[in-house]
Amino acid sequence: MVLLIEAADVDLGLGLTPRVAAAVTKVAARIEGLVEARMAKMTADG
């Protein structure tokens, strides 16, 4: 599985655009859910 966030602007500068920052939050939550599901499966499998 590959999760990507497309850059809105690649100019030099600090911080993220609001749109990219929102995408980061969504992707981080997705990754957290995937890790939790994998950990639960590993625990259930013994």
**Which structural domain, as residue segments, surrounds residue 46?**
18-46
**pLDDT at 23 (0 to 100):** 95
Q: Is 9 among the domain residues?
A: no
Q: Give CA–CA dist 39/28, Å, rounded.
A: 16
In a domain? residue 36: yes
Residue 7 is assigned to a structural domain of this protein: no
Q: Tens digit of pLDDT per residue, the chain (46 long)?
A: 999 998 878 888 888 889 999 999 999 999 999 999 999 999 998 7
Is residue 6 a part of any domain in this protein?
Answer: no
User: Is 39 part of a structural domain of the chain?
Assistant: yes
Number of compact structural domains in the chain: 1
